[in-house]
Every structure is written in structure tokens, then in C-alpha cells.
Amino acid sequence: MISFDRVSKRYEQGHEALHEVSVNIGSDELVFITGHSGAGKTTLLRMIMLMERPSRGQVIIDGQNLAAIGPRGIPRHRRNIGVVFQNHRLLMDRTVYDNVALPLIIAGYDHRELGRRVRAALDKVGLLDRERAMPITLSGGEQQRVGIARAVVGKPKILLADEPTGNLDPALSAEIMRLFEEFNQVGVTVLIASHDLALISRLRHRIITLREGRLVSGSKP
Amino acid sequence: MIWRRITAWRAAPVGRREGARVSRAGLRDRYKAWLQHHRLSAADSMQRVLDNPVSSAMTWLVIGIALALPTGLNVALDNVSQLSANWDSPAQISLFLQDDISDQRARQLEQELAKRGDVAQTRFVSRQEALEEFRSLSGFADVLASLEDNPLPHLILVSPAGSTDQATAAALRDELQAYPDVAQAVLDMEWLQRLDSLMDLSRRLVLAVAGLLVVGVLLILGNTIRLAIESRREEIVIIKLVGGSNAFVRRPFLYTGLWYGVGGGFFAALLVAASLWFLRQPVSELALLYQSDFRLRGLGIMGGLNLFILGGLLGLAGAWLAVGRHLVEIQPR
């Protein structure tokens, strides 16, 4: 589903964020990416989202070489990928419902279908009763779950998460991870960048370790 | 419990197992959703404009003043040209006859002139008629009544035949001047032409002023929209991250520009109407003094509508400029 082929990323300042990274991730996998900050975890995720492009090498997602997608194709590409951010990135002046509905509004859904799907997504993350709330009134864990609902509401094939448990206590973190596992069980490819080794080593999924932009372990399942 | 939720999700009709994707919602649905987003954007932008009534009103006023100035000048020019249109044939030669010419001789001369091939029409105004007309139009009735005898000469008005370009009319005037009974032949075209070219000049000036002010309006709107974009930077980033196209991001800002522009057009129409109302009284008094039934002509419904449309178009254009410049810069980091 996701394939990196000798991908390098060198910034103009000369810093090399990724060096010759090759890795394949199957469509039924849940994979953790770990490493110290600056090891290249985020860069890897950003390349999948086309927020960045490799200096060398190829990224192929679902059979499509990302190099072939021009600037105008980026929105369409992103609509097929759900993303969860560490700092949630919710619209603070909109309700929970509106936040979760955003990807569907962008994709152009009829409002009845939209309501059904938004409620289904909110139900999954256990926030159905908070759809009228403003995000600011929610706890950190709840905000993160709104972010997850927004990421999955469009039923993407790929779900990316960048430090989704970064600001949460261990119990909440485990709960969030369980949620990701559930999505993986219904066939979503899940890719989670996290440096919480204690948590992710308990979960028995493949762990890709990066160090200073190089792949150290986890290139094969 | 959790498993029930998940299986329900899996069984949802447009699941990925059926191969459908979010970006492939039905064409009809997408059209409906597109319309829906236009409605939403329009309403949301309107709401945002109305949420800041003071700053919005100031923007409207600035645009209104900038649009009202050339519009008002144009209305004034229209009124002047309406006034001058009342003077018919621009090329008319006035023949003032010698003082000692009798009524009869003057009428005879008029007949003679009327038979000329290069004269289309003549009209005789006797010195008595001229005095009456002068008395009734000038407002100097009292002064004229105190005069012992009539100081005015007989007058024959001659309209040249055929094309009335200045050269032939001037040649005719010179010929008529040579008649011994004619004291003075005056070609009325000259000052009308001066008026015409003055009007032409004024129109060009108004056009130049209008052009400058339109640029001003575009810059004001561009700046206002830029601020609106700046204050919603995070929202734009999020929308781009979840797959919003540039058109999707652009839409609400275009509507914001439209509302500012239309509001500005409304204020401009209001300002012009108010100034005309302010001038109406003295103008009609002045017209009364000249025994004229001249009335100021306003903007009219079409003129007002045009201002709305012009304002709206300028709003869209200004927003487009700002959005084009600034949205590209805002990329997810």
C-alpha cells in the first residue's frame, strides 16, 4: 500500500532528514515509526501527504507514484488519506460536528449522507453526545478523538498519525491506540509516528526505527 | 460494544470494500454539494461582515465615497448636457438687421433668404417679439419697462441646409454678412462647440478620476481581504491538510469581497441620491429665476443597479487579487 524506494530528503540548508529509506507497508498493516525527534518520522509522514517531496527516490501509494501528482492533484490525493495531528489542529470556532464534517463538505457530500457519516464517526470515538460542543470545552483526549473522527469520517484507505498520544496520560494513550487498532482491523492501513516506546512495544505491531534519517530496523514485517 | 460499532462502520454502504472513495461522491451529489458550499460560504461571509459592523461600515463608506465621486460628477455632466440639448440646431446663424429697417422690409428679406438653396429654414423675430421674449425670460422686466424705446433690432434666424460643418456654415455667415440690411451675422455654433469640447474634456477628466478611484477601491478591498485571510490562516492550513482545493479555500473570501463591494455600491448610490436631494431645492429656484422648468435628473433605478453591480464586480476583483496573492503562500508546514 505504501512503498518508499531509496528515498532521501535533503533540505536547502544542507540538513539531510532522510537517507536512502526503503520500506514497504502492506494494506492490512498497522506500523509504528519511532526514533528521536529529528530522526525523520515526521518527514516520512509529510511525504505521504505530499506536504514534502523527496530529493531522491520514489514514494508509491496504492500503486500511484507520488511524483506524478502535480500541485492541482494534491487536494484529491489528501482526501484519500486520514491524518491525526499531535496538536489536534481543530477549528476552534466551529462545533465538533462541523470539524468532523469538514472533509466530507470538501469532498462534496449531500448533507443527509454527511450527517449520517459524521454521527457514525463520532459514535466510533465515543463522542456522539458532544457533537454540538465547541472543541475548546473538551479535554485533550476528547479533542484528539475529534481529530481521529475527522481523519476517518471519509473512510480513507490510509490513516496517518503524528505523535497522536504526545500530550496524553498513559491510560488515554492506550485508549487512543486501541482505537487505531480497531480501524486497522477493518482494513485501514495505519501508520503512527510515536516516540513512546514503552507503549508501542506492548502492542505487538511492526516498529520501524529511524536514526538520523536512516532506517535502523523494521524494514521487513 | 466497540466491535458492534466497528462492524457497523464496516457495513456502511459506501465503504472502501466497495471500492468507492471519498473523492468520488456522485456527480449530482457533488453539484448539489457545490451549490450548498456556495450558499454556506455566502451566508458565512455575510455573517462575518455583519459581526464587525463598525469596521465593515467603514469599508463600505470608503468604497461608497470612492464610487460616489465619479458617479456624482457623471450625473452632473448628464444634467448639463440635458440642459444644452434644449438648444436645438447647433448651427444657426443669427442675422441682426440694421436699426432703420422696417418690419415689412425685414419680412421681405426673410422670404428672400428662405428661397436660397443653402438655407434650410428661416425664422423672423421682430424687435417687438424679441423684447417680449427678453422681458419674460431674463427677469429684467422692470428695467425694460423703464426704457423709452425698444433697443433691440429685428432678427432673422437662419438654419443652413445640408450638412452643417463649421466651414460651410461660416462661409454662409460671411455671405449673409455682406447683405446691406444686415448689421451683424453671428454663427451660434462657436460657443456651443466650445461647450461641447468643454463637456468632452470634463467627461475625460471624470473618467480619469474614476479610473484612479477604481484602483483605490481594488487596493482597499485587497487589503481588507488580506487581513481576513491572515486572521484565518490556521483554518486555511487545516482545510488544505484535509484535501480542500484552492477553489474551496478561495470561495468564502470571494464572497466577503462581493459583500463589501455591493455594500459599497449601495452606500455610493445613497451618497449620490443624498447630494442630489441636497441640491434639488437651490437648482429649482435657480431654474425658476430663468423661467425654466429644468429639473435635476438623478441616478435612476438602472443607475443605482449599475452601481450595485459595479461595486460587486470590484469587490470580487479585489478579493480575487488578494486571494491569488496570499493563498498560495499559505501552505501546511
CB contact under 8 A, A89 and B10: no
Residue B316 pLDDT class (50, 70, 90 cuts): very high
ipTM of the complex: 0.90
A199 touches A172 (CB < 8 A): no
Among candidate residues A31, A149, A27, the one with its CA nearest the CA of residue A82: A149
- Read off the pLDDT of each residue in B244-255 and give the average, rounded to a whole number: 92
Closest among B117, B163, B17 to A27, alpha carbons compared = B17
Q: Is the Cβ pair B8, A120 closer than 8 Å?
A: yes
Taking only the tens place, the pLDDT of each residue in B63-117 is 999 999 999 998 888 888 777 665 555 567 888 888 888 888 888 888 888 888 8
Q: Best mutation site among A42, A45, A186, A189 for testing chain B: the one with the most B CBs within 10 Å?
A: A186
**Shortest distance, CA A159 to any CA of chain B (angstroms):** 12
Question: Would you state the pLDDT for residue B310?
Answer: 92
User: Rounded distance, CA A207 to CA A38, Å?
Assistant: 17
Integer Cα distance of B275 and A125 in angstroms: 63
Q: Which of B22, B33, B333 sits opposite A155 (nearest CB)?
A: B22
> Would you state the pLDDT for residue B90?
56
B2 reaches A (C-beta below 8 A): yes
Choose between A112 and A115: higher pLDDT.
A115
Put simply, the answer to whether A182 touches B6 (Cβ < 8 Å) is: yes
C-alpha span between A99 and A131 (Å, rounded): 9
**Whether B27 contacts chain A with CB within 8 A:** no
pLDDT in tens, A146-181: 999 999 999 999 999 999 988 788 888 898 999 999
Contact across the interface for A102 and B238, Cβ inside 8 Å: yes
pLDDT band at B257 (very low <50, low <70, confident <90, very high): very high
Of the candidates A171, A178, A186, the residue with the CA atom closest to the CA atom of residue A204:
A178
Domains and CATH numbers, chain B: 31-85+194-327 (no CATH), 93-187 (3.30.70.3040)
A120 at B interface, C-beta within 8 A: yes
Mutate to test the interface with A, among B242, B249, B250 (most CBs of A within 10 A): B242
Q: Measuring CA to CA, how many Å separate B191 from each of A100, B78, B90?
A: 74, 19, 9
Lowest-pLDDT range of B4-18, B117-131, B304-318: B4-18
A80 at B interface, C-beta within 8 A:
yes
Q: Which of B8, B40, B242 sits opposite A103 (nearest CB)?
A: B242
Kindly indicate the confidence band of residue B167, based on its pLDDT and cuts at 50, 70 and 90.
Answer: confident
Q: Is B33 on the interface with A (CB under 8 A)?
A: yes
- Kindly tell me the number of DSSP H helices and DSSP E strands found in chain B: 11, 4
Average pLDDT, chain A: 90
Least Cα separation, residue B263 to chain A (angstroms): 26
Q: Do A105 and B8 touch (CB under 8 A)?
A: no
Beta-bridge mates of residue A189: A158
Between B333 and B96, the higher pLDDT residue? B96
Structural domains present in chain A: 1-80+158-165+188-221 (3.40.50.300), 82-155 (no CATH)
Alpha carbon B286 to chain centroid distance? 24
Question: CB B238 to CB A117 under 8 A?
Answer: no
Would you call A181 an interface residue with chain B, using a CB distance cutoff of 8 Å? no
Nearest CA to CA, how far is B225 from chain A (Å)? 19
Instruction: For residue B243, give the nearest of A76, A124, A157 by CB distance.
Output: A76
Q: Give yes or no for residue B139 having a pLDDT over 80.
A: no
